[in-house]
Amino acid sequence: MAPAIQCRDLRKTYDGQVEAVRGLNLEIEAGECFGLLGPNGAGKTTTIEILEGLLEPTSGQVTILGQTWKDNSRELREAMGISLQETRLSEKLTVRETVTLFSGFYRHPRAPLEVLEQMQLTEKADAWVGKLSGGQRQRLAVATALVGNPKILFLDEPTTGLDPQSRRQLWDTIRGFQQAGGTVLLTTHYMDEAERLCDRLAIVDHGQIIAEGTPADLIERLGGHHMVEFQVSGSSNGHSGEVWRALPGVEYVGANYQLPLSSVALAWEPIGIEGYVPKAAGNDLIISSSAYISSDYLRAMGVPLLKGRYFTEQDNKKSPEVVIVDDKLAARFWPNEDPLGKRLRQGSDGPWRTVVGVVADAKEYEVDAEPPITAYFPVEQYNIAGRFVVVRTRAGSDAANLTNAVSQEIRRLDPELPTYDVATMDHRLHDSLARRRLSMFLLGTFAAFALVLAAIGIYGVIAYWVDQRTREIGIRMALGADRGRILRLIASEFFVMIGIGLALGLVGAFALTRLMSGLLFGVSATDVTTFGLIPLVLAVIAVAATYLPARRAMRVEPIVAVRAE
């Protein structure tokens, strides 16, 4: 099958001097979600506009669904939906009229109201476009791209300016389009977005692809930072970021009262949201995970900033009280609103704190559990002595060397300084999964024993059946039945039993998926591949266990068999 999108040696030069795209090669398979990442001015938008047919390349070849823009422009327009980085729509039309207008450009469009419902714009169907918020306009732009029922969806930074809830809703829409067989090409600045949506990524810089692969591969190859954490008590020197930043290879240094996946329990406490009115009586108690962090902690842990700013060293006791929230908290209490500038407080009588930033949610307790809503408070505005220190290295640095350097520096500062629980984040992650690894090892071992016993059982049953019917087999062969017919006789009876057993096993497996879901991570308890592959393996083993006694039955001599008692 031809790739959905393919370009070879793509180049684009402006005014004969500025080379925006420089020999770019790209191949995207049908049904794939492919992401282009890179800084501003890297050539992402130019590349995507050439692929969309909006720009003529200076040189190079572009094929979409096996066709070129020169020969099949009408067909290609029908096959793609486009959401530009800045889609300007007429402010004198309603939302419904806008989507209906775009549907008229296609021969086989979707129903406009169906698309509006998908993008959660039904309530705004009769609103003027000029009255929509920035997030609603962005969703409307995506709706105009979907209404033509496209095979390929081009999205240029689709979530820029969206509030956290709208961002998640758009992610669900993109996933649904891909699961229905569509191909997606998107540009983004957010690595967490690329991780959640993209099958493969290409990092573009100065008009060239400098790296390509799955999100996990690229993080390993290009973002292979290491984090070393340890706890220091009783000395302000041990908390000083300057001490650790001076170590070779260090990129960021942060501090936190607790660490994710650590042996120290994380903090839960009630918070109050200014202006929040619970939907039902008795639901006014809001419990949030609370983290007390230094200015560079979120950078050191690699938590992406979605909106606003990180803490700075100026966020101390002399400055106004501030807070950073994760996108789950923002989406819950300020849906379709800008959370920046909103206020919350700890408990019922704490000072009101202004939200200055929104970050992506992070898994603090269990890697396979949904993270709770989280509020981050600047530790310099509190009196907290003991802290965990996080030291993040640059890509390519050796975590073992950094661990040794940290230990030596602590001894140099104060030989009696209590420091413990020194470990890399990879080590913490490995330890947090120990119980699950043991459970899966035991489950896999018992399953292997069960499989061997099942194969022995099948062999024994069929061997016994052959022994009991040896005389019958001999008579059949004496009357002219060939060995192929004897084999079919045995197969017809036992393959039916094998099929019934597999069907009952599948039903039982589906019934027990709830018990299994707690042991799985990154795989659905009803994973289609697993439920297709395992019955196939069991069927092969059952057929192999059937073959040996069936082969013996085929070799029965008719005279010997007829005389058998």
**Whole-prediction pTM value?**
0.50
What is the reported pLDDT for 354? 94
Contact 267, 289 (CB under 8 A): yes
Helices (H), 180-250: 191-197, 215-221, 236-239, 241-245
Q: Which of 13-17, 178-182, 244-248, 253-257 has the lowest mean pLDDT?
A: 244-248
Average pLDDT, the chain: 79
CB atoms within 10 A of CB 260: 23
% pLDDT > 70, the chain: 76
Contact 36, 186 (CB under 8 A): yes
Backbone angles phi, psi at 416, to 5 degrees: -100, 5
Q: Which of 31-35, 205-209, 305-309 has the lowest mean pLDDT?
A: 205-209
What is the reported pLDDT for 361? 81
DSSP bridge pairs for 128? 94
β-pairing, 152-156 vs 80-83, is parallel
Tell me, what DSSP letter sits at residue 124? G
Is the pLDDT at 332 greater than 60? The verdict is yes
CA–CA separation, 510 and 209 (whole Å): 44
Residue 27 is encoded by which pair of tokens? 């191949």
CA–CA separation, 522 and 53 (whole Å): 37
* Chain centre distance of CA 286: 28
Cα distance between the two ends of the chain: 62
Nearest-10 crossing angle of helices 528-554, 483-511: 150
Residue ranges per structural domain of the chain: 5-221, 227-426, 434-563
State the average pLDDT over residues 435-445: 81
Residue 115 is encoded by which pair of tokens? 């698309």
- The residues, any chain, with a CB within 8 Å of residue 525's CB and separated by 6 or more, are 513, 514, 516, 517
According to the per-residue pLDDT averaged within each range, which of 88-102, 416-430, 454-468 is highest?
A: 88-102
CA–CA separation, 513 and 540 (whole Å): 24
State the average pLDDT over residues 148-164: 83
Q: Which fold has domain 5-221?
A: Rossmann fold (3.40.50)
| Residue found under tokens 């823009």 | 69
Is the pLDDT at 396 greater than 90? The verdict is no
Q: What is the CA radius of gyration of the chain?
A: 31
DSSP bridge pairs for 230? 389
- The band of 253, judged by pLDDT with boundaries at 50, 70 and 90, is confident
What is the reported pLDDT for 560? 60
- The residues, any chain, with a CB within 8 Å of residue 130's CB and separated by 6 or more, are 91, 92
| Residue found under tokens 């209490």 | 333
CA–CA separation, 52 and 41 (whole Å): 18
Is the pLDDT at 149 greater than 60? The verdict is yes
Nearest Cα to 148, choosing from 190, 114, 176? Answer: 114
According to the per-residue pLDDT averaged within each range, which of 145-149, 302-306, 366-370, 402-406 is highest?
A: 145-149
Q: Tell me the longest C-alpha to C-alpha distance in the chain.
A: 105
Cα separation values, 169 from 158, 172, 176, 187, Å: 12, 5, 11, 18
State the average pLDDT over residues 208-221: 78
Kindly write down the DSSP assignment for every residue of 134-163, as one continuous string. Answer: HHHHHHHHHHHHHTT--SEEEEESTTTT--
Per-residue pLDDT reduced to its tens digit, 25-83:
999 999 999 998 877 778 888 898 899 888 999 999 999 998 998 888 888 989 999 88
